Structures are given as structure tokens and as C-alpha cells.
Structure 1
Amino acid sequence: ATPLFAHQGCISEHAQLRLVNGSSRCSGRVEVLHNQKWGTVCDEGWDLQDAGVVCRQLGCGTALSAPGLAEFGEGSDPIWLAEVNCTGTEATLSECRASPWGGKNCTQRKDASVDCSGLTISEHTQLRLVNGPSRCAGRVEVLHDQQWGAVCDRSWDTNDAKVVCRQLACGAVLSVPDKAWFGEGSDPIWLDEINCTGTEASLTECRARLWGDHNCTHEEDAGVVCNPHICNFLHGDRDLRCTGRLEVLHNQQWGTVCDHSWDLRDAEVVCRQLSCGTALLAPGRAQFGEGSDPIWLNDVHCTGTEEAITECRAKPWGVHNCTHGETAGVVCSGNISPDHPKGALCCRN
């Protein structure tokens, strides 16, 4: 048995794991998505530790039982996984060991199931994202002593954001905005100097200062942008995410775009041009690195309906009063299609 990811498995932290035929969302037959098809899990080796990981991953509290023998009915799809062997401490099923995808002889009569307590992580410590374009993007706020409060961005990084996205069942981290990108809160600043490893099931499991102990202002409120449609690959070729520093090709040389006047309408054109869905953010200030090539575009003004960024108004090529510290970026909702011609536009993480 080897880790699931070694066999091109991409069980995401929420959307690609589900429970079927149960009396609630927190009980039922375990199904995983592989090769764009849902399939079941064989009950060989299936136990309470494995079920506990599933319950945690779905925000369903603790495992009450780990039934086998198709307790919640037999599936009709492929049997994707067998001999799953979790220690019980994993944050997601993808971290557990198992036989290769579809490589075990089993029958649907042995489909594995779980019955969880249904007590979600957020019922222990409330967590929410506010002022963003969706429930999976915004300023991070936690509930303590029956009052919502902000999180300071000092030491705030991708590992911390990964825990937030997991806790809210929001998939993978796209961006980790700081400096009150989603506006300043007005409530207490509850947490400061958070230091997560990235594997914790909830933010309160991470090391941090004591509640309310900080030397921050709301100008330093932390934010997160997650995408529930993107899963994290640990092995093999990485998916090309639609987020990063924007670069354009001119005179056979790649160059950056200045963030002067850069906004969501400009980013919307970029996302459309790259077949990347809709624009979630239009970050500036070189959030994805400064770049070292020429600064090709400045003062870009798109209406948002253009098919390509070259159709938008801007200063002439190479005319600018910017530095690489003002490089523009984009955060889009989707992935670049594998067969999409990148043309003269790209995003670099």
C-alpha cells in the first residue's frame, strides 16, 4: 500500500469526497471521485480510524461507526479504493495509505460507509470569511467569547490559509492577501502570530498568541482566497492554476503589467482570455513576485467585456512610471484548459 497521491489520486479536501444514501450529510456510503467518475471504497481493512478521517475532512465531527458490507446500499460505480489504512491523525483521506486506484478485487457488497456525529468544527470554534466575492474568500474572522474578531496578518502564510480553507470545506488556497485587502474589521483582533503546519483540522489547533494578545491594528487584518474546485496535487504534474503574476508577450519577450489602475474588470478580461473562469481578485503590489523582465503595460483600462487584454485602453507598450514592486496579478476561479493555447498571456506563480 502506498499514499493515494502516488497513483494520481486527487481526493480533494471537500468536493471530491462524499457520503451517499445516509439519513444526513454526515452518514452514508463513502464515495471518492477519480478520473471524473465517482466510485466506492472496499471495506477490507476499513475501521474507525479511517472513518474518523472522513468525518473530519467533511466537517462532520467524530466517527461513531465504520460500517462495511454495504450498510447504506451497494454502489454501481467502480470500486476505486481498498485496504485504506489511516493512522487517524490525517486531515484528509488523501494522506492515508491504500492500494492503487481500482487495483483490488472486491465487490459492491463490501462497500465501506461511515456514521459521523455531525458536530462540525465550526460548532467548536466559529470561523468565517467576510467582505469577499464568495463564502470562500474574504477577511478571516473567528468567534470567541460570543464575539467575532479579526486575525492579524503577522506571520500569516499559505500554511495558515490552507487550514482555513480546509476547515470551511473550501478546497485549495489560491491567495493569502494581507494588509486588510478585504477591508478593515471593527471588532476585536482575536489572534496574532498564528503558526500552522498546514495539516491541522481547525485554526484553533495552530500555535498562536493567547486570545486577544496582539500588537496589531485592523490595517493588518488577514485574508484568504480559496477555491473549492481546485485540489492539491502532492505528486506528479501540478495543475496549472489560474492565479499568479500577469505577463504579456511583446517583441518576443515576456514582460509584466503595472498595477496602476489595475482592477477586477481588467482581471476579468485576463481570466476570460486564459479560459480561467471568472475573476476573484486583482491583486497588485507584486503579490506573486516582482518579475525581472520589462514592464510592458501600464494604466490598463478594460470595460470587462473585451476578449483580450490587448483590446483594452493602456499607455503605449513599455511606457510607464512603475517599478517591479507594483506588478499586477490575477486570481481566477478555474484552471487553464490543458489544450488551451496560452498565446501571448500567462500567469506565473
Structure 2
Amino acid sequence: MANCKYKQKHNETAQIWLDNVTCSGSESSLTECQHSVFGSNKCEHGQDAAVICSDLIRLAGSGSSRCSGRVEVYHDNVWGTVSDYYWDLNDAEVVCRQLNCGSALEATLSSKFGAGTGQVWLSYVTCSGNESSLTECQHTGWGNYYYYYYSLHSYDVGVMCSGVIRLTGSGSTRCSGRVEVYHNNSWGTVCDDGWDLNDAEVVCRQINCGSALEVPQSAHFGAGTGQIWLSDVTCSGNESSLTECQHSGFGSNRCEHGQDAAVICSDLIRLAGSGSSRCSGRVEIFHNNVWGTVSDYKWDLNDAEVVCRQLNCGSALRAPRSAYFGAGTGPIWLSGVSCSGNESSLTECQNSGWGNYYYYYYNNNYYYNGHYSDAGVICSGDITF
């Protein structure tokens, strides 16, 4: 394992062994890649190739990709895993940034990407989210863990990162900021020519930030640097990635960084389900790194009013019950929601607490809150004249 922080001294007399190297990226050794004959080249040492590596961290496991997988760290000449004790989105954010993979979408637990082998190097990792490396975060020490079962690979952690997209800039948050995409080994911005709410909707969904609320113009979160990768982006709003939308081609534009595009997303709330649109659908909220639904117990127009305002979708027209937009999956995060209608966020309303929904008593009967009771909204933002 090469130490990527090591810098070799320049040697004018050394051979230039390889030229025209072409790898797929899957080879286990550089010499397995296509290349010209050893020593055959017309190069000088001023053209010596270099790399910048992630050094001590990688993603691996079943179903993994460059920006999602089981987290493994390199220590004492051995690759090992990280225990999921206290693992959360702040920790995953550090990993994603360290790997140049955008923002953290999910901090996975319980060996979602398969169990690793060898050492469990880190446990009780506690990051603020601003560290440049996972090993800078607080932890119990190399190979130390509070309880024996956290040394088992069934608790290996993983991450899912946004990959080729991130939000950044002055005043930005996890779900609002200047849009940047990763292409040709560098981060660049997007020109706001033609930039609209459909384009922003794709970005917000791609980084697990709910729905698009606003599309600020003219470098609202500050001007970026480097390449302006995309311009004239035209999305339908249903694409899974911004790069799937029509655009003028990577790097093809007449823009300046004063035109850098931005988004403001709803963050913790979204509308989903069959027949849903930007302003109508099954209400889902993001908690504990998972999207879940809301029970329709006590659900009314006041509650829907808060959701519609939070999503910048006008006023509530209806508060559908009984999984009107289809039954969701995963946790039912909220039940017994009771809003006055003036709250700025659904989570500010009175409710039974996160995940407390098992039974409720009504008309002398107990009822179980399953996904057949998922709440929905229909907002005026869908009405056109």
C-alpha cells in the first residue's frame, strides 16, 4: 500500500517506464492496464504523472460503488472496518467529503453492504461533520470498543453519498447552496441560464433533501471557482440525476461565476406516492437517516396547511387520509399530529413522538397505525388558471 502523502525526490536520470497508460479502473495493478512497451516513450520528466489518493479510507462491499459502500480504514498496514455504535450522518458526511463524493445521503448500519473481514478498527466515532478526515473525529482508539459485540462485522458501517453533486457556498446548509457537479476529476458549477424549479427538484431529490422550494439566481450563495460544467440545463423534474437532464454539454457555456445556479430544498419533508406531484402526495419526513410517513390519526386541514406552506406550495385544499396516494414503506415517524396551522414546520406541531404510533383509542376501540393510514396533502400550488 503506497503512502499517498509521500513525495519522491525528482530524479532526472531515472527511467520513464510507462506511457499511454489506459486503465478501466478495475485492474488490481497498474501494469495490468494497457500501455506502450516498457521504456518506449517520447516523454521528459517534466511530464511525470502523479496522483492524489484518499489515503486511509475506501468504500467496499456488496453493491458498493465509488461513492457508496462499507467504510474501511487503513491502519497498521491492514484494512479494517468501522463499528456502527453512534454512527450517524455527520460521520458519513466526513467520509463522503474525504472521498470527493459530494454530500452524505445515508449513514448505513448493520452491514448493509455486507460484513467485512479482519480488524474492526474504529468504534464510537463522533464527528461534528466539518473534519477533513474520519480519523480526526473522536473515537475510542484503534481496535478499542466498549462492548464485545461491536467488534463483530455484523455491525460494520457504510455510507451512501450523492456522488457527482454537492451544495456549497457562503451561507449554505446541507440542503441549500450553490450547485456543484464533479466531472473530469474536478468540481465545477452550473450556469443559471434556464435554471428553474424542475432542475432544482432533481438536485434536491438526488441529495435526499426533499422538494425544491426556491431557485436563487446570480450566485446567491457566492461565486464558485474553476470550471462551469453545465449550462442550459432542462430537466422534466423526474430524472434521478442532474447529469441525466438535457444540457449544452460539459464545459460548453458563455457564463461567468456571477451566474452560478443554486437551490433551496425543503430538507426534512417531501411528497411522494402514486399520482403525486410537487404539491400533492403522501407526506414523508426524514428522521434518523430514513424517510418515513405520517399517520392520519387526527390529521386535518390545519396540519396540511403547515406542510403546504413548508413546501412553498400555497394553501392546503385537502388533507387526504387512508393512504390516498398509496401506502408508504419504512417507519411511520409521526402520529397524532395536531397543528394550529401557523407553525413553520410539521415537526413543530404537537405529536406523539418519533416512532410512537402503535395503537390509538377511538370510539371505544383500539386501532393499529399501519401504512394504510398514511396521511397526504393536496395544496393549491398544483392549481393553474
TM-score (normalised: structure 2): 0.34
Q: Which has the larger radius of gyration?
A: 2
Structure with bigger RCO (C-alpha 8 Å, 6+ apart): 1
